[in-house]
Structure 1
Amino acid sequence: MVIKTPEWVKDAVFYQIFPDRFSMGKPPQPHYNNHIKANNLESWHSQPTPQGYKGGNFWGIIDKLDYIKDLGINAIYFTPIFQSTCNHRYHTHDYYQVDPLLGGNYAFQEFLKQAHQREIKVVLDGVFNHVGRGFFFFNDILENGPFSAWLDWFKVEKWPVSAYDGSLPANYASWVGNRALPQFNHNNPQVREYIMQVAEYWLHQGIDGWRLDVPDQVKVEGFWQEFRERVKNINPEAYIVGEIWKPAEKWLDGTQFDGVMNYQFTEATLAFAGGDRILRQHVDIPPYYPYPPLNPRKYAQRIHHLLNLYDWEITLTQLNLLASHDTARLLTIAGGDIKTVEIATLLLFTFPGAPSIYYGDEVGLLGGLDPDSRRVFPPPQSWNQNLLKYHKNLIQLRHKYIALRRGNYQPLYADEHIYIFSRKYSEETIIVIINIDTQPRNITLNLCNFPIKINEKIFGDSTFIYEQIDGKENIVFNLLPRSGSLFI
């Protein structure tokens, strides 16, 4: 079987946005007077709470599109945007309506138009395993009990349904036993068709792909194969990426997803870049393990294993990330250590697959586990400008050099402190060197064992020289403490 994945994803740099917290804007006239305004929002800059709304919307995101474009982003992944009764919107009420707090369907269409004008792709979060209690078909069951016309859309175990009384068991199937999230009966052909039509509808509206929430919870045979077929029939270049935290061979056989959120890369890279600086209290709850520390040799082994799990076409369209709305913030995980963030970010932008930045990480936004990781995007006076410049430079290099996007990945050297690898595409070869030691390091490599001609440094502060020792030509790298550099 020849596996085909979207070409644009191989050249993409993603930006993940949690819509309630990114930016609040005002709609243009004449729509401003018709804009539905909330009257009980949390203060924008106060600490986020589990249930409070900040009021971010698509008008605010439109205002920030030039910033996003200037950063070098060409794809955005949104956490859920549909009508819901929670700030994260994983409790869907209506899959055909963008939440009114976000500006509704009109604001989203205006955003989509302006994003596409800037050549920015848009991927939405598809929460197709479960819904909120206010979802019409489940709400009909709450109102009419066993007389509901939509009874078989969910798995009711006993009457009367106990949707709100915490003193009683939730007597219907729900996500991880959470009564607020009734689980679809995916064996029902009507449910299956409904979900497929939702996916098709938003593709017809112009979105560029779906990120699928907890797709491993949908157990029905052939469900995701049909989903892929229907999506690709509308847009063969639509991106389908699943939220799978563990090795995902089962879903990446070419018949289901184009990639997954690559938490396997996340945990290895943080364990290598941060070592014992990783704060366990910020990583113990999500199901990934950026600990214990990895030295360069062990990191090389983990990366070798990871790169051999999937077909190369799939590897090139993995969604690689260092943090998300389900984890603590990168800088907080690293205990405030900027060098850990820099090394991990360099590895992110030089790894096969599409890199993804969680909004605000590029300017040093802090935050522990949910809800703290979902703080509002900070004002410019709070930005770490050096970290922002670091991100911009790496993004620019990734766009400039095809080897960093599509080139083969080859580990070249690893010891207790130094890791070297190459990305090669046709005649273009990029060399990446990482020193995780707190001391400067010099390394001499004989050109017989390092047969790659380096001409110049393109990123970082480390240096190199060629010299002859005992009649043999060598290359000597002088590496700064806890740093990374790129050479060509």
Structure 2
Amino acid sequence: MSKSVHTPDWVKDAVFYQIYPDRFAKSSRVQKANNLQPWGDTPHPHKYQGGDLLGVVEHLDHLVDLGVTAIYFCPIFQSASNHRYHTHDYYQVDPMLGGNEALKELLDEAHKRGIKVVLDGVFNHSSRGFFQFNDILENGPSSAYVDWFHIHGWPLDPYGSGPANYEAWWGMKALPKFNTNTQAVREFLWDVAEYWVKFGIDGWRLDVPNEIDDDAFWREFRRRVKNVNPEAYIVGEIWGDATRWLQGDQFDAVMNYLFTRPAIGFFGSRSLDYEQVRGTGYEHIDTMDAQAFAGHMQHILTMYPKEVVLAQLNLLGSHDTPRYRTVTGGDETAYQMAVLFQMTYPGAPCIYYGDEVGLSGGKDPLCRGAFPWDKPETWNRKALDYTKKVVKARLSHAVLRRGDFKVLYAQGDVLVYERTLEGERAVVVINASTREQQVPLDLSGEYLEVIGDNRVRLNGQITMPARTGYLLV
């Protein structure tokens, strides 16, 4: 392990918001193609709905009002797919999103509002339309770029039913895998990483970085990015134990799915939709009681250095998973308890766009629905208000962002924990059962219950309504 582990200081205080660009918002300032799916239709694997970056600019005030301080974007570079994980040109923002000029405007406007911007870097594989791969398709063994990919024979078959004859991510012909043993490829990818940080982005989320099984590659990636901006955030998509990458010399943090699974299994234990779990990156989710949940959540805090723990991206769902409401069977109380826990647990919370207004959606692509700006009457206003309150609480109390975490009580369906920092203390009480509970509490006197903005007098216990959480300061 590196002697000193440092992660960006701003991340420790951040509230992230993940945006799927094609589905968040669209602006009349960006010229549109004709064959678009109507906004809000059932998401389709291949169809576009026309979201763009200027649409995001025009709705930044919604994010400010919510309390968001950082945006993590799914890929935005030129691509022939609505998700844009099939990169054609790593130096061009997709024209459908508004091009490089739109990203510049977005960065300027976001930064004016104190919002950081993190982009998705897809460096393990490209697309069939990527220039160097296309050159191989045109010129075969005579191409100057045959060593940019893993070619196993000729001819290549990128669209037919025969063997591809080249390595591709999970065998998907549309995603030819880079040969990162080739120095030119390494230099190309490192240059892309540097270029956009110089352009003004605040970090990279790395798509399937474990597929580039080369610590030296990622060490140099980090060195080059941090040389441009020492406070740039590097967060990897790792679904399990990420110790290998979190020694202080590769990534700052990872998408914390070790947080997500138990947050579904505990708060959604009575309504978990197992069918939504099957065939996803979750693989399997165990339902659990408070004691098991507390044990797991305490354990993952010990897996990595504290600098890493405070920078972990804690999410309740993403573009790769069913939405939280859907996987927990539509139980609104599960969402409320989960987002309260998310906002009061160590690490950087990340809201998946639309969760705050009640969006639902099953497995990919259904989890990638359009934000209903045109139908505000469909918004879950109670969820929006609740999310704003818990986000505001996190931003208002340093103890919730940087304090130590300790479980005080975990029995049945009741969890009590505290955060402490330099004499400041916050206590969270969550009753996940379907009945009112008398909960022993080592507190006496008057406290503010932040979510309800009520003063409560305590004398060694508290009466907790069913399926409810309190934040006491």
| Greater displacement, 450-459 / 295-304 | 450-459
Aligned to 1:147: 142
Q: 1:120-269 residue pairs with structure 2 within 5 A?
A: 120-166=115-161, 168-269=162-263
1:289–1:465 distance in 2 versus 1, CA, 3 Å: farther
Q: Per the alignment, in what secondary structure is the counterpart of residue 39 of structure 2?
A: coil
1:44-74 deviation line (CA, Å, top 9, x unaligned)? 1211111000010112111111111111101
Partner of 1:4: 6
- Tell me if structure 1 keeps the 8 A contact 2:42–2:366: yes
**1:478 aligned residue:** 463
Q: Which amino acid aligns with 1:361?
A: D
TM superposition shift of 1:325: 0.2
Per-residue CA distance 1:228-270 (angstroms, 9 max, x = gap): 1111011000000000001111111111111000000000111
Residue 79 of structure 1 corresponds to which residue in structure 2? 74
1:327 aligns with 2:329: no
Is this contact kept in 1: 2:54–2:106, CA < 8 A? yes
SS at structure 2 position matched to 1:275 = coil
In 2, are the aligned partners of 1:266 and 1:290 still within 8 Å (CA)?
A: no
What corresponds to 1:31 in structure 2? none
Tell me, which stretches of 5 or more residues in structure 2 are unaligned?
Answer: none
Q: AA paired with 1:23? A: A
Q: Given the alignment of the two structures, is residue 391 of structure 1 paired with residue 383 of structure 2, yes or no?
A: no
Q: Which residue identity lines up with residue 89 of structure 2 in the other structure?
A: D
Is contact 1:24–1:57 with CA below 8 Å preserved after alignment?
yes
**Does the residue aligned with 1:413 lie in a helix, a strand or coil?**
strand
Does the CA-based 8 Å contact 2:149-2:178 persist in structure 1? yes
Distance change >3 Å, CA 164–CA 452, structure 1 → 2? farther
Alpha-carbon shift at residue 287 of structure 1 (Å): 2.4
Are the structure 2 counterparts of residues 380 and 36 from structure 1 closer, same or farther at C-alpha, using a change threshold of 3 Å? closer
- Separation in structure 2 between the aligned mates of residue 452 and residue 308 of structure 1, nearest angstrom: 31
Q: May I ask how many residue pairs the two structures share in their alignment?
A: 469
Q: Give 1:285 deviation, angstroms.
A: 1.8
Counterparts of 1:487 and 1:127 in 2: how far apart (Å)? 42
CA distance in 2, matches of 1:127, 1:78: 12
Give me the whole-angstrom Cα distance separating, in 2, the residues matched to 1:404 and 1:375. 31
TM norm structure 2: 0.97
Identity of matched residues, %: 50
Instruction: List per-residue Cα deviations over 1:424-478 (Å, max 9, x = no partner).
Output: 1111110000101100011234xxxx378763322249985444xxxxxxx1211
Which of the numbers 384, 409, 420 marks the counterpart of 1:424? 420
Equivalent of residue 44 in structure 1, options 39, 42, 55: 39
- Equivalent position to 1:67, from 56, 62, 66: 62
How far, CA to CA, are the matches of 1:288 and 1:383 in structure 2? Answer: 28
| Closer, same or farther: CA 149–158 of 1 in aligned 2, 3 Å | same
Does the 8 Å CA contact 1:463/1:477 hold for their aligned counterparts?
no
Match of 1:436 among 432, 437, 444: 432
CA distance in 2, matches of 1:26, 1:462: 44
Amino acid at match of 1:157: H
Shift of 1:2: 1.4
Q: For 1:274 and 1:57, how far apart are their aligned partners in 2?
A: 34
Amino acid at match of 1:325: H
Whether the aligned pair in 2 keeps the contact of 1:460 and 1:483 (CA below 8 Å) is no
Match of 1:280 among 274, 277, 282: 274
Asked if structure 2 preserves the Cα contact closer than 8 Å seen for 1:83 and 1:99, the reply is yes
Aligned partners of 1:453 and 1:408: how far apart in 2? 23
* Structure 2 letter corresponding to 1:144: N
TM-aligned CA deviation for residue 355 of structure 1: 0.3
| Deviations 1:142-184, CA, capped at 9 Å, x for gaps | 0000000111000100001111112x01110110111110000
Of residues 455, 458, 472, the one that matches 2:450 is: 458
Whole-angstrom distance in 1 between the partners of 2:455 and 2:257: 32
Contact kept, 8 Å, 1:187 with 1:220, in 2: the verdict is no
Please state if 1:374 is matched with 2:368: yes
User: 2: CA distance between counterparts of 1:278 and 1:306?
Assistant: 23
Bigger Rg over Cα: 1
3-state DSSP of counterpart to 2:118: strand
Question: Quick check: 1:76–1:123 contact (8 Å CA) kept in 2?
Answer: yes
Distance 2:194 2:440 in 1: 56
Q: Which residue of 2 aligns with 1:97?
A: 92
Q: Secondary structure at the match of 1:455?
A: strand
Residue in structure 2 matched with residue 32 of structure 1 by the alignment:
none
User: TM-score, normalised to structure 1's length?
Assistant: 0.94
